[in-house]
Structure 1
Amino acid sequence: MAIRSEALRALVAAGASAEMLLAVIEADEKAAAAEVDAKTEKRRAQTAARVRKHRETHRNAGNGGNALPPVPSPDGPPPPPAPPPPPLNPSPTPGSDPDGSADDVGQAGAGAAEQARAFRRDLLTRGAALICANTGRSQRSALALIGHWLAIAQDEAVVVLGLIEDADGRELADFTSWVDRRLQARREAMGRRPDRGRPAQPAPTGLAARLIRQHAASQMGAYDVEPPAIDANDPDAGPGRGEDLGTPWQAGGASRPSDPLLRAAGQGGHDSRASSALRRRRAA
């Protein structure tokens, strides 16, 4: 408690020196700081005890008969959790007959649906409690986080609950980001993201297929041999069937390459040196 001004005036009236007043003020400040530190330590101890109690309670809830004895809390036992409300309009058992009986397929479907509902109830109760204990979130914030994770996991509550329990056993510092990364990696591994690229196109037919084949044949080498003529009975020939016109200079569509280039490409061409040698041999 801070020293009052009346006490200081009384000390001054009594003839106290400045050193005495300074010592009194310092002692009062130290006492106030010690009181604040004591309150802070007490609050931290109570918070740690509540968190430890919460973790022990929900960890033992999943062990069945192997539950450990509860640790007494300084604040008293917590109130029991409220049971989940029953569904207003329960869905009928799929595959049931009009007389009320159900076949094997209907019973299997009903069992799977009941198991899925049980996992979802556990996720909304025990999973939310584990999130609150590990992250310090409120109940409403934990339920909102569970909804976000269910959207990533394609509404599979058992997957989300399993990751929450795994993260609780590891006692991670980044509890939320650890679960989120595992769910994102699972979604990418399963390939459930829609393909935003261009869809696969069917193979071309008709005139387009013929042009593609001719272009591929023309890329075999520089001025390579002429591509084969299109067969009139080829189903891919399309409406443009007919004889092949060969290379552009044979059809008159472009200028004729030089003779050395034609000889190098195997297309013939006039060789003046070879002609001169042939004439000399004939003259001899």
Structure 2
Amino acid sequence: MEKLKGALAVFLGASSFGILSTFVKKAYGQGLTLGEVTGIQVLFGMLMLWLIFIVIKLFSGKSFQSSTKKSSWVKILISGTSTGLVSVLYYKCVQLVPASLAIVLLMQYIWIGVVIEFIFFKTKPSKNNLIGIGIVLIATLLATGLIEKGLEDLNLTGLFFGFLAATAYSVFMIVNGRVGNDYHPIQKSAIMVTGSCILIFTLFPPNYLFNGQFDANFMHFGLILSLFGTVIPPLLFAYGLPKTGFSLGGILSSAELPVATCMSYFILHESVSFVQWIGVLLILGTVILLNAAKSSTH
């Protein structure tokens, strides 16, 4: 029963990430800019995560002191800039290409992470990983519509930002797994989002907070984007992943891809062809098979 609860939590956390691109598109449609969308998300998210952590610390009666020496919070703060970079690059991609394409580009972290680990950590990819990378690359050609439409119908700048976002996401996942694991998950998330907030406010000064521009529209999208992108996923993952294990968790977290594609198709009414759906399903199947293979080796 506990494993089922954990699986549901991870699935809902991934689905939460999946709906983000749709709301980002809607925010752009209401006249918000890239700096405003990313800024209000991290600001609201940072405030909510710190509030949740303080409440837990005050009322749970549990000690958050680790028996081992805690790693530097500064390292966690700096590593949090990678999440801010993901938001900026991914939301720029969403601005330029359909949301259904943006999520496919972000999913390229599957093979980019393997390449980064090989270059910097000398971790050789397994045979299964190499096969998976090959399938993902072929599936991407289908899912992006490149085979059907050719390059002339695709926004090359959007593709570029999509691949940059996937690279930043790979770095985030690698760093996140190595830094601050001796902190409470909510505290770690709050520190990382604080680092993200510092980066985004440096890139895009939040003048809208002081010039009277901040209105109900900002509040509306700030709450939605921060809840579904910054607050709910880490809370659900922190609860669910210890119960499911990382292999099953990896399979369930791939729900982000079909959820984002379905949202863009049904809510934004973007065109997703049959061939593109095949590509999406191939990527999804590869994630499931790779994580299932990891599970069988443990």
> Normalising TM by the smaller chain, what interval?
under 0.3
Higher RCO (Cα < 8 Å, 6 or more apart): 2
Looking at CA atoms only, which structure, 1 or 2, has the larger radius of gyration? 1
- For normalisation by structure 1, the TM-score amounts to 0.22
More helix by share: 2
- For normalisation by structure 2, the TM-score amounts to 0.21
